[in-house]
Amino acid sequence: MVAAAKQVQSLVNIVALDAKEIKAISARLTALRTLYQAASPNVTGTPLQGNLTALNAWIDSVNTAAAAVVTQTMIDAYVPTHKGDALNG
């Protein structure tokens, strides 16, 4: 039972660290999108031509993941003293 609990905490810690990164990425993408929209550059001939709607939808998806309850739940469950190696082969 102890081994299972350690494996669970290892997974939670790994997910928590990634969840923190997703939240940071979400904030950065949102800020960049705001700056981009304010600048309103011409996208003709660039990779953004024809892809702005898809890019905005993708940023919205990242924001949705960052705002999910489970994201903060995992971050809150992080245990800094846990070694995190219980899932290693």
Domain total in the chain: 1
Q: Does 88 fall in a domain?
A: no
Instruction: Give this prediction's pTM.
Output: 0.85
Instruction: Work out whether the CA dihedral 37, 40, 45, 50 comes out positive or negative.
Output: positive
Domain that holds residue 52: 2-76
Q: Does 87 fall in a domain?
A: no
- How confident is the model over 2-37, as pLDDT tens digits? 688 888 999 999 999 999 999 999 999 999 999 999
Give me the percent of the chain exceeding a pLDDT of 90.
81
For the chain, the farthest-separated pair of C-alpha atoms sits apart, in whole angstroms, at 60
Q: Does 42 fall in a domain?
A: yes
d(CA 57, CA 61): 6
Q: Does 53 fall in a domain?
A: yes
Alpha helices by DSSP H, 40-68: 52-67
Q: Does 84 fall in a domain?
A: no
Q: Does 48 fall in a domain?
A: yes
d(CA 42, CA 81): 50
Q: Does 86 fall in a domain?
A: no
Q: Is the pLDDT of residue 89 over 80?
A: no
